[in-house]
Amino acid sequence: MTLSATGVSIRFGGLVALNNVAVSVSPGEILGLVGPNGAGKTTLFNCLTGVSKPQAGKVQLEGRDISRLSLADRVRLGIGRTFQTPRLDLGSSVADAVMLGFNPRLRQSIVSACLPFSKARRTEDDLSSRARQLIAEFQLTADPDSSAGELSLGHLRLLEVARALASEPRYLLLDEPAAGIDDVDRDLLADAIRNAAARGLGVLLVEHNVGFVAELSHRMVALVSGEVVAEGKPAYVVADPQVVAAYLGVHHVAA
């Protein structure tokens, strides 16, 4: 009963982005994934969600091999994600941007979408009010009909989380959701992640703010240069010499 990757390897030209990586996340669990820039965290997300196809290894969802399924199929099976750089139509309204998140669960026919007084019409009002609820919950904006382009980067990240939750995923993959967001929003985000896990979602959380992940996660995995170097309780992983070295190295370079 997990979402798991086993023996996943992927290379881009000569660069080995992931080398024989295994991770798994269970329902209700928050798994923190840390590692320096270029460690392969996003690439691992891409392999789990079907954006990239690994050259070796397989991805399983509750025992079923989903390695060959497309991104769209995997979302419909309940693997939701956010992107490191938010992806959305900045010209649409905030409400419409969140409502897009309901699509993986809807099976709407084109005919129904086109006709007045159809089933699609009746669901539309329902979806709209559910989206507005999510917008209020995440305090994205006071006016859901305003343009998404007016939101701050932090709010765009929260919008992606709200949108991913709208698809009622069983597993939620968050790629640096707390990067560049303020303290109030970070608390909102932490609550949302805890609530999701409490409802039985498996959460995979990539984050550079090690303090933030360590506090939220039940378990952590550290990735360095495409390999898992440490795995276990947050306190243990954070103290791991290789992880410390990798992060110190990053700070060293940055400084």
Partner 1 sequence: MSNEAKLWTAPAVIVVGFCIVMLLGIAQPSLHTTMFTIGLYALIALPLGLIYGQGGTISMAQGSFAALGAYTSAILCTRFGFSPTLSVIPAVVMPACVAFLIARPILRLPELSLALVTLSLGTVVAVGLQRGGDFTGSFVGLSGAPPLPLVGNHPVWVATTLWAVVLIVVIMYSHFVHSARGRSLNAIRVDRLLAESMGVNVPFDLSIMFAIAAGIAGLAGWFYVHTLGYIAPDSLGAHTSANILFMVVLGGRRAVLGPVLGATFFTFANDFLPGAETHGLFFGTILVLILLLSPDGILSPQAMRVLRRLFSRRDRVSRARLPGTAEVTEASR
- Chain residues in the site for ligand ATP (CB under 6 A): 12, 15, 17, 35, 37-43, 84
The per-residue DSSP string of 188-254 comes to: HHHHHHHHHHHTT-EEEEE-S-HHHHHHH-SEEEEEETTEEEEEESHHHHHH-HHHHHHHHHHHHHH
Residue type at position 192:
A
Residue of 60, 84, 118, 133 that binds Mg ion (CB under 5 A)? 84
* Residue 123 backbone zone (phi > 0: left; psi -120 to 50: alpha; other: beta): alpha
Closest approach, Cβ 94 to partner 1, in A, equals: 13
Taking the least distance from each CB to Mg ion, the nearer of 42 and 217 is 42
* Residue 36 backbone zone (phi > 0: left; psi -120 to 50: alpha; other: beta): beta
Closest approach, Cβ 154 to partner 1, in A, equals: 19
Taking the least distance from each CB to partner 1, the nearer of 52 and 217 is 52
Query: Are the C-beta atoms of 230 and 240 separated by less than 8 Å?
Result: yes
Closest approach, Cβ 15 to ligand ATP, in A, equals: 6
State both tokens at 176: 């640096």
Taking the least distance from each CB to partner 1, the nearer of 134 and 228 is 134
Residues that bind partner 1 (CB under 8 A): 49, 51, 70-72, 75-76, 81, 83, 87-89, 92, 96, 99-106, 108, 110, 112-116, 118, 120-121, 123-125, 127-128, 167
- 208: how many CB neighbours lie within 10 A of its CB? 16
- Binding residues for Mg ion, rule CB under 5 A, total 3
Taking the least distance from each CB to Mg ion, the nearer of 112 and 212 is 212
Q: Which residues bind Mg ion (CB under 5 A)?
A: 41-42, 84
